[in-house]
């Protein structure tokens, strides 16, 4: 039975550390998916009408272009992570890149994806302040809290 790893990747320093840990720790026969979840701005960019503020309407083109740039940056970052895994010995055919838009929330979307046959989720711990973490919680904490029947590796 093949082993499958899901790397939750947000292009942060800790996300890249998670990729390094996978490359250094896991056997090279694992199938790896690098998953990034980004905001769904396409819906906002397609809306025209009174429900949007005049200020947003005046800046809409710049906002939508910026979000396209964000997708491009994420694809480039994922490719960098993929190349790191290849350099560490993973066959390129064992590495998949996946970018999806938020559906229920980043943590819930990671857990939902993990339920499609993954053995382990690997993710970086974000360096937010303890006050923010108390009120908002971190994505890694939420993933740990709502996951069932899957191993979670949080990399610092």
For residue range 106-125, list pLDDT tens digits in order.
Answer: 999 999 999 999 999 999 98
Judged against a pLDDT cut of 90, whether residue 96 lies above it is answered with yes
Domain count, the chain: 1
Query: In this structure, what is the dihedral angle of CA atoms 23, 27, 149, 35, given to the nearest 10 degrees?
Result: 40
Q: Which two tokens stand for residue 82?
A: 């993929």
Mean of pLDDT over the chain? 85
Please write down the long-range contacts of 140-143, taking CB distance under 8 Å and 24 or more positions apart: 142/105, 142/107, 142/108, 143/8, 143/107, 143/110, 143/111
| Least confident span in 69-73, 129-133, 149-153 | 129-133
Q: Residue 39 is part of a domain; what is its CATH number?
A: 3.40.50.620
**Residue indicated by tokens 């009174």:** 50
pLDDT score, position 131: 47
Percentage of residues in the chain with pLDDT exceeding 90? 56
Judged against a pLDDT cut of 90, whether residue 88 lies above it is answered with yes
Residue 24 belongs to domain spanning: 4-155
Note the pTM of the prediction, 2 decimals. 0.83
Judged against a pLDDT cut of 50, whether residue 135 lies above it is answered with no
What is the Cα–Cα distance from 132 to 5, expressed in whole angstroms? 29
pLDDT score, position 128: 47
């Amino acid at each position: 039975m093949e082993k499958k790893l899901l790397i939750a990747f947000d292009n942060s320093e800790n996300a890249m550390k998670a990729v390094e840990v996978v490359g250094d720790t896991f056997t090279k026969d694992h199938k790896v998916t690098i998953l990034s979840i980004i905001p769904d701005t396409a819906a906002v960019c397609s809306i025209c009408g009174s429900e949007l503020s005049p200020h947003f309407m005046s800046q809409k083109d710049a906002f939508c272009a910026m979000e396209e740039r964000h997708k491009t940056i994420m694809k480039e970052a994922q490719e960098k992570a993929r190349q790191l895994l290849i350099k560490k010995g993973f066959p390129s055919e064992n590495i998949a890149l996946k970018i999806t838009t938020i559906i229920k929330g980043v943590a819930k979307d990671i857990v939902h994806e993990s339920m499609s046959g993954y053995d382990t989720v690997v993710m970086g711990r974000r360096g937010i302040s303890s006050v923010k973490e108390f009120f908002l919680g971190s994505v890694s904490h939420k993933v740990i809290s709502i996951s069932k029947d899957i191993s979670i590796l949080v990399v610092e």
